[in-house]
Amino acid sequence: QVQLVESGGGLVQAGGSLRLSCAASGRTFSRSAVGWFRQAPGKEREFVAAINWSGRDTDYANSVKGRFAISRDNAKNAVYLQMNSLKQEDTAVYYCAASRSQGYFATSYAIYYDYWGQGTQVTVSS
């Protein structure tokens, strides 16, 4: 079993930066693929970024490419999402998710992930 806790959200002006963290408990986390997803009010959950177990494979939504960077530190059981050049449309609750199986690939499909955190709010003001 893996438990995930997101942190680092908050209120930031457009053009600013935030770094989200996803802290995990459970000794299998280092083998998991991890994804970040977000959900804005009135909208469906959408994929943001993903990373495989080793950190060598990453994937990003087109809307965040070049602005966001996902990374992980398996020694600390943590995954990070560095968000730069934030826009108002990035406002959402951000969730991290981890796979139960060995995460060979970074994947954008939510169904691939078995464990989900409670989310952290990111609000970007104009």
Write down the mean pLDDT value for the chain. Answer: 96
By percentage, how much of the chain surpasses pLDDT 70?
Answer: 100
Phi, psi of 37 (to 5 degrees): -130, 165
Element (H, E) at 98: strand 92-98
Report the pLDDT averaged over residues 94-112.
94
Two tokens, residue 103: 């995460």
Q: How many helices (H) and strands (E) does the chain have?
A: 0, 11
Q: Using one digit for the tens of pLDDT, what is the confidence trace for 45-82?
A: 999 999 999 999 999 999 999 999 999 999 999 999 99
CA distances, 81 to each of 1, 42, 86 (Å): 23, 23, 12
50 close to 42: Cβ distance less than 8 angstroms: no
State residue 1's pLDDT score: 80
Residues 49 and 53: their CA atoms lie apart, in Å, by 14
